Chain A
Amino acid sequence: DAGVTQSPTHLIKTRGQQVTLRCSPKSGHDTVSWYQQALGQGPQFIFQYYEEEERQRGNFPDRFSGHQFPNYSSELNVNALLLGDSALYLCASSIKGEDTQYFGPGTRLTVL
């Protein structure tokens, strides 16, 4: 049983560019959450998707947007990249109504 997978593993972009990160949830899971983990910090909640809609959102600007597909996979899009967007982006999946999230290995984004 594959766990949560994310792609790509690493990504380097320049300021002002746009980036798309991808996540496939654990088999049987229908809810996907995204977190940003800056160096030396704990993960910060960005948003959560269920039934292809954003259900909850953390304190992140509108430059951060997402999408969930019918097969429950998800994308995180970040526009107009800033140096401060450099971080490890973690995807977590869960089952609606259950309370444990399972995390993927993350995508390391570097903005130059």
Chain B
Amino acid sequence: AQSVTQPDIHITVSEGASLELRCNYSYGATPYLFWYVQSPGQGLQLLLKYFSGDTLVQGIKGFEAEFKRSQSSFNLRKPSVHWSDAAEYFCAVGYSGGYQKVTFGIGTKLQVIP
């Protein structure tokens, strides 16, 4: 069964500082990996996704993520955080074809301080 671990429940960074959110997955084959962001009271917005090819993927809002098969990781990064990035971030894993079932991690809540 597929699973996702986000080891950091809550992270605080200063505005302008760099950010890295960790994600580890468990899946028997090549996974489809996603990062979503959720602002308070809102639905989920897709930041980026990895299906195949280049292991460094670029997303919206200046985010990027790197797929590392050897570490079963898909960490999200941003070089300079803005106050508007404060939100909850979810890593998710799915699989190819058929009927897509996506498994989410518990989420990492990001706080940005001035």
Contact = CB atoms under 8 A, between A and B. Distances in A.
A11 to B, nearest CB: 15
B97 A103 contact: no
B84 interface: no
Interface residues of B, number: 26
Interface string B69-95: 000000000000000000000101010
A101 interface: yes
Given A99-B94, A103-B43, A42 B106 contact: yes
A48 B101 contact: yes
Contact of A102 (B4, B46, B94, B106): B46
Contacts of B101: 33, 45, 48, 56, 58
A41 B100 contact: no
Contact of A48 (B34, B92, B99, B107): B99
A43 B44 contact: yes
Contacts of A99: 32, 49, 51, 94, 96, 100
B103 interface: yes
A55 interface: yes
A94 to B, nearest CB: 6
A74 interface: no
Contacts of A84: none
A41 B97 CA distance: 27
Interface in A88-112: 90, 92, 94, 96-97, 99-106, 108
Interface of A: 4, 31, 33, 35, 40-45, 48, 50, 55-56, 58, 90, 92, 94, 96-97, 99-106, 108
Given A42-B92, A43-B104, A45-B102, 11 more contacts: A31-B99, A56-B101, A90-B43, A96-B99, A99-B49, A99-B51, A101-B100, A101-B102, A103-B36, A104-B43, A105-B42
